[in-house]
Amino acid sequence: MISTIASKEERGFEWIDISSPEKQDIQKVAEKFGLHEASVEDSMQADHLPKYEKLKNYGFVIMRVYSVSRESEADTVQELTNKVAIFFSDTFIVTVHKFDWKELGKIDQDFVKSGECQNTFHLFNEIVRYGLMTFEAPALKLNRTIDFLEERVFLKNKNVSLIRSLYFLKRKVDVIRHMLLLSHDIIDHIDPPGASNEYTRDIRDLYVKQQSIFDALGENTNHLLAIYFNISSQRTNETIRVLTIFSVFFMPLTFIVGVYGMNFDFMPELRQK
């Protein structure tokens, strides 16, 4: 579905949003703005990873934003994130996304309708910033999950296996870290023509913050996994130690039974009462 959020007559630039895109919708917009067929094809791929391309007449960006999933065991790029493709130039910006992304409505309300966005580069910065901000809530949730699992590992029932929960926690953190790493090229080219401004500096600070948070989460998850395996190994050693003590206690009895259980006719003390 094609929606015109901002027109050139009102704002000085056009903002076209395509939700749940059909091939004919993309082709129609591509013909209007002269979009290259290769970047149009990339915008239609649901599993495409983040990228930045500078073409002759426009810039093309694919970014992935966090998707609130009901499945606690979601651990892939497609399950944890949604793709948003952005075509932008001095006169237009086109956003393409398969799933509904409510943040675009907030950007329209707070920056376009209010007149704060004076050009497409500022609008592009806000879209990228809101995309990065989608990772803040899952970072807090994953941090709470680590605290909960740490408590389970050290203080709670020692017989409950936590390896499944730790696996999905590690997978989620690794996937988001990978998405942020691939998004570095977008942040590196986010400056408008000329020097950077307060908007781009704010986005760079936000990106560094998100990267630092998920790097710390990754390290904490790896440490927690190592501690879990060490504690599990210690419990196994304690069990083996107890079994060893019992085996040593019964060893003399086992020897006596083995000797006198043999079927020999002439053995010392065999006939004694």
Domain of residue 60, residue span: 2-231
Tell whether the model's pLDDT for residue 195 goes beyond 70.
no
Separation between Cα atoms, residue 87 and residue 71, nearest integer Å: 32
Residue 15 located in a structural domain? yes
Tell whether the model's pLDDT for residue 9 goes beyond 80.
yes
- Predicted confidence band at 85 (pLDDT cuts at 50, 70, 90)? very high
Q: Specify the CATH number for the domain of residue 177.
A: 3.30.460.20
How many domains is the chain built from? 1
Residue 196 located in a structural domain? yes
Percent of the chain with pLDDT over 70: 88
Separation between Cα atoms, residue 22 and residue 98, nearest integer Å: 9
Residue 254 located in a structural domain? no
- Predicted confidence band at 258 (pLDDT cuts at 50, 70, 90)? confident
Separation between Cα atoms, residue 151 and residue 237, nearest integer Å: 22
Residue 189 located in a structural domain? yes
pLDDT of residue 55: 87
pLDDT of residue 196: 55
Tell whether the model's pLDDT for residue 138 goes beyond 60.
yes
Provide CB contacts within 8 A for 232, sequence distance 6+: none
Q: What is the pLDDT of residues 23-45, one digit of tens each?
A: 888 888 999 889 988 888 998 88
pLDDT of residue 60: 93
Residue 268 located in a structural domain? no
Residue 192's CB: how many other CB atoms inside 10 A? 16
The answer for 82, left when phi > 0, alpha when psi is -120 to 50, beta otherwise, is beta
pLDDT of residue 97: 92
Residue 34 located in a structural domain? yes
Mean pLDDT of 126-152: 87
Q: What is the pLDDT of residues 200-256, one digit of tens each?
A: 778 888 888 888 889 888 888 888 888 887 877 777 777 888 888 878 888 887 887
What's the pTM? 0.74
Residue 45 located in a structural domain? yes
Residue 24 located in a structural domain? yes
